[in-house]
Amino acid sequence: MPGQQHVIDVTAAIERARFGRFQFLITALCALIALLDGFDTQAIAYVAPVIAEQWGMSVAGFGPIFGAGLAGLTVGAFILSPAADRFGRKSIILLSMLIFGVFSLVTAWAGTMNELLIYRFLTGVGLGGAMPNIIALTSEYAPARLRATLVTIMFCGFPFGSTVGGVISAPLIAAYGWQSVFIVGGVAPLAVLLVLIVWLPESLRYLVASGAPRERIGGILKRLDPEHASRIDAGTGFVLHEPKAAGFTVAKLFQEGRARTTLLLWAAFFMNLLVMYFLVNWLPSLLRASGMPIGTAILSTAVLNLGGVVGAIALGRMIDRMNPHLVLGSAYAASALFIVGVAFGSHDLWLLMPAVFLAGFGVVGAQIGMNALAAGIYPTAIRSTGVGWALGIGRIGSIIGPVAGGALLGAGWSAQGVVLAAVGPALLASLAVFALRRHPVPSAALKASATLAH
């Protein structure tokens, strides 16, 4: 009818679009960011023994340095994720890349422990700001039928980056010194930053929710769904059937019936990241104390992460096909069982390594799946805040886990007893996820009027 505006539902368009080069490009770029994030997060662990030797100090003195990096990750998640819901995913991703690239590079010139602590904290702020936003951006361009799969595959870039760091750090340090690891860790994200400025799109859902110009929305939608590009013209309007967020976005996590869900989600993140970092940090030392050769003890961490990558991909597909709460809750419960296997199998390699692999499948793999679940719980207007604060609360658990392990050892617990202590938090994470199934978020989007881009 003449004069009648043609309106496109952006959510429906994303669901309708075939997975093509545009969505692949977004997922690949976010995976590349995750890889660089993983490399930089682990860099200090690879160089700590070398720095300790050159500076004439005990490697035990690096505890505060490790803690500073994790604290920076927490602060970055808390501060930069709400900023992304106001200023856009892409803007905060670029800022985060700039922060952790610059301060990783500056770390190469650190000459004292205080300088190293400050630079690792600031690097962590950038790393912590990037992660929730690449999860949100990948989620917002993925159709529901593939969302968990794409988010989990993308996030596998993080453990892969940690692995790449382990492979290249040793020859880099041998040839050019420990500083070279931080130079690579700083130059790489700054180079990728230029690529992201050109190729990474802003979230289409965010653009509609924030009232961006029609021309910008239409241009991205044509790339997303070329088959329907002919339907988009200068008079086309775009709607998003989700509520706008006004005021302090963190408070929105507890409004419109979300309080119980948010607290349960935080409990699951806190407990599982506590277990994950507890195992990653202490498993080699605990197995060594149980009598395993040092090489086998170190290999256990690689097997744990390998199980996590396999678990992430497998659980991601299961989440897309089955009830996600049932899948993830069961994975956490099973991981508790396999942690028991690790504790009692420390003297039998053929029992130990399968138990470590399966514990990683449940603990690490399910955590990556939880990222996808968190992204789906919250509407566009507060999605980055929701994911970022869940990760931030989880990061607090990641700090407490290694500290608790040291405290238990200091109190005289056996290596087997310390490993068994991780069973409790794993079961609590399982209970929190099962409770999420019983208390879903009311669909505020169905009650709200559509957001229209003019």
b/e sequence 203-241, b meaning 16+ C-beta within 10 Å: bbbbbbbbebebeebbebbebbbeeeeeebeeebebbbe
CA distance 409 to 383: 40
Q: 27: how many CB neighbours lie within 10 A of its CB?
A: 23
SS3 452: strand
Q: Identify how many contiguous H helices and E strands the chain contains and give both numbers.
A: 19, 3
SS3 124: helix
Pairing of strands 7-9, 237-240: parallel
- Are 92 and 203 spatial neighbours (Cβ–Cβ below 8 Å)? no
CA distance 178 to 59: 15
Specify the pLDDT at position 425: 96
Identity of the amino acid at 272:
N
Return per-residue pLDDT of the chain as tens, 454 residues.
Answer: 444 557 888 888 888 888 889 999 999 999 999 999 988 887 887 788 788 889 988 766 777 887 788 889 999 999 998 899 889 999 999 999 999 999 999 999 999 999 999 999 999 999 999 999 999 999 999 988 888 889 989 988 888 887 777 678 878 888 999 999 999 999 999 999 999 999 999 999 999 988 888 889 988 988 998 876 777 777 788 887 665 555 457 888 988 888 999 999 999 999 999 998 888 777 777 777 777 776 677 677 778 888 888 999 999 889 988 899 999 999 999 999 999 999 898 777 888 899 999 999 999 899 988 988 898 888 888 888 999 999 999 989 988 887 788 788 788 888 888 889 999 999 999 999 999 986 554 433 333 333 344 4
Q: 158: how many CB neighbours lie within 10 A of its CB?
A: 28
Strand order across the 451-453 sheet: 7-9, 237-240, 451-453
Specify the pLDDT at position 9: 85
Specify the pLDDT at position 116: 94
**DSSP 8-state symbol, 142:** S
Domain ranges of the chain: 10-207, 249-446
Q: State residue 240 phi and psi, 5-degree precision.
A: -135, 115
Specify the pLDDT at position 370: 92
Specify the pLDDT at position 337: 96
- Are 435 and 261 spatial neighbours (Cβ–Cβ below 8 Å)? no
What value, to the nearest 5°, has the Cα angle with vertex 22 and ends 19 and 25? 105
The structure tokens listed for 232 are 């988009």
Domain 249-446 homologous superfamily, CATH:
MFS general substrate transporter like domains (1.20.1250.20)
Q: State residue 453 phi and psi, 5-degree precision.
A: -90, 125
238: enclosing H helix or E strand: strand 237-240
Residues 6 or more apart from 45 whose CB is under 8 A from it? Answer: 66
Identity of the amino acid at 325:
H
Fold for 10-207, please state it.
Answer: Growth Hormone; Chain: A; (1.20.1250)
**DSSP 8-state symbol, 112:** S
Q: Whose CA is closest to 193, among 93, 104, 105?
A: 93
Q: Report in angstroms the alpha-carbon separations of 97 from 73, 93, 129, 395.
A: 13, 6, 9, 19
Q: For residue 242, is it left (φ>0), alpha (ψ between -120 and 50) or beta? A: beta
Distance of CA 178 to the CA centre of its chain: 27
Specify the pLDDT at position 89: 94
